[in-house]
Amino acid sequence: IGSKIALGDKTTLLLGVNYFNYDNPIDNNNDNFTDVTLQNRISVFQKWNLQRSRQREFSLAGRFLYEDRWGGEMQWTPEFRGTDILYGESIYTTRWELLGKYQLPVEFPMMFTFSYTDHDQNSVYGTLPYLAQQRIGFGQLTWGPQFESHDLLFGAAIRYNYYDDNTPATSGINGNEPDNVWIPSLFAQDEISFGEQHSLLLGSRLDYDNRHGAIFTPRMAYKWKLNDFDVLRINAGTGFRVVNLFTEDHAALTGAREVVITESLDPERSYNINLNYLKKIYSSNGVYLNFDASVFYTYFSNRILPDYETDPNQIIYSNLDGNSVSKGISTNLDLSLPNGLKVLLGATVMDVSSEENNVTTRQILTERFTGTWNVSYTIRPWQLTLDYTGNMYGPMRLPLLGELDPRNEFSPTWSIQNIQFTYTGGKGIELYGGVKNLLNWTPNRNAPFIIARANDPFDQNVTFDSNGQVTATADNPYALTFDPTYVYGPNQGIRAFIGMRYRL
């Protein structure tokens, strides 16, 4: 439910309430595990916009979310949460946030933006609990003067991050040591115009993290407007990222593998360059065509990637002793015809690899190519719109549990396609319906099973040798342990849907 309310002449209120409940366990692949996560979620959003003198901005927004979701064995109920009787992954999430924007009452353009987020997660993965709290505060002041051919931007920011959980991520010599970090920043950029066709943007940012010291990240962008229909851009820059394994990598929390962190993890650093060409075509008969193509290259140092292969019973994390590269080409096409037909097409071909000890390997769970499309046609006399959407993914390298694992090392090329009809002739009422996953594709179609040892999720009948490695037995001929990490696509098959929207 969404509504926009005018409160007097100078105040408007946006209000949104969303409730979602899915509580029907389904097991179409007969492994006794739910195919789709069950959810009970409510969220509330509110935003205030206040008009001020001289058109100065002031807005304040808040959002609250609570979610209870779970997946696991079909017989699982909340009373088994955290036990080794039935396997379940259960997550309770409470999150609220506040964000705002305020233009200072001074003669020159100066803007203050701020936000605060509080996130609490109470979860269990089998018998493994993950209890985490995160609080993030952010404030930023910017000043954007303009002088002749220079469009300047200066700013200062401060970011506060508090993070605590019950994992090794926040443990230290003296016991629990939550992250409690302030990161001040200064940044500046100058967009220089050289006539109507050329512009150059130069920018730099300096952050100070008390864990890693001062971090300098410059960037540049050049734009060449050949004419009103052709634009060429080149962008280059650097970046850094402090990784939190347990908030960013769900696989570290399944409980199926031991998490091993071999060293104190340094921030990831990246260096990137991107070349983009944009072409627009307008015809006299109302045809519009927008085409863009990009070539990109990103070089990573200190990359943190999960190692599933050294030991099938572990996920090992460390900074890569080498480099990682992501490079490729992407294209997008937007076509609109006067008869009501609209076509959006996108494709990306990329290579994501890592090099360590002079050995180059393809990164796990990354595809070589992707494609997306959206074909929309409106039958105006009937006020009916047909939307055909879809995506396609190339093969990915998948994590296996050893040489005897019978599952495929690479996923097949797969596609999810949908169709929807929307009727808008009901005076504020919209009726819609359609079919999702028209091809009824799911990952188990080309695999003997998806979840390894789904019949023994706590490895109670697995035999280990003196080195802790799994031994093949009559009950376990492939020498496997329970492992749900062989996941690369949605597990929900073909389904129909109908709905109604009412606009007041």
Indicate the residue type of 466. Answer: S
pLDDT digits (tens, 9 = 90+) for 355-395: 988 888 888 889 999 999 999 999 989 999 999 999 999 99
Predicted confidence band at 52 (pLDDT cuts at 50, 70, 90)? confident
* Residue ranges of domains in the chain, CATH in brackets: 2-502 (2.40.170.20)
CB count within 10 Å of CB 382 equals 10
Interatomic CA distance for residues 359 and 387, integer angstroms: 46
CB-facing half-sphere around the CA of 43: CA atoms within 13 A = 15
Q: What single letter denotes the amino acid at residue 447?
A: A
Q: For the segment 233-268, what is each residue's pLDDT rounded down to a tens digit?
A: 999 999 888 776 655 555 555 556 667 777 777 888
The pLDDT of residue 487 is: 83
For the cut 70, the answer to whether the pLDDT of residue 345 exceeds it is yes
Confidence class of residue 172 from pLDDT cuts 50, 70 and 90? confident
The residues near 16 (Cβ < 8 Å, ≥ 6 apart) are 1, 2, 3, 43, 44, 45, 46
Q: 372, 346 in Cβ contact below 8 A?
A: yes
Residues whose CB falls within 8 Å of the CB of residue 239, separated by 6 or more in sequence, listed in order: 217, 269, 270, 272
Model pTM score: 0.85
Q: What is the pLDDT of residue 93?
A: 94
In this predicted structure, what is the pLDDT of residue 179? 86
> Which pLDDT score is estimated for 252?
53
- pLDDT for res 192: 96
Per-residue pLDDT reduced to its tens digit, 442-490: 998 878 999 999 999 999 999 999 888 899 999 999 999 998 888 888 8
Is the Cβ–Cβ distance between 260 and 313 less than 8 Å? no
pLDDT at 256: 61
Query: What is the Cα–Cα distance from 142 to 114, expressed in whole angstroms?
Result: 12
Tokens 């634009």 correspond to 231
* Radius of gyration from C-alpha coordinates of the chain: 26
pLDDT of residue 386: 97
Any bridge partners for residue 281, and if so which? 289
pLDDT of residue 174: 81
Judge whether 429 and 413 are in contact, CB under 8 Å: no
Q: 275: closest CA among 239, 238, 232?
A: 232
Q: What percent of the chain has pLDDT over 70?
A: 96
Residue 331 has pLDDT above 90, yes or no: yes
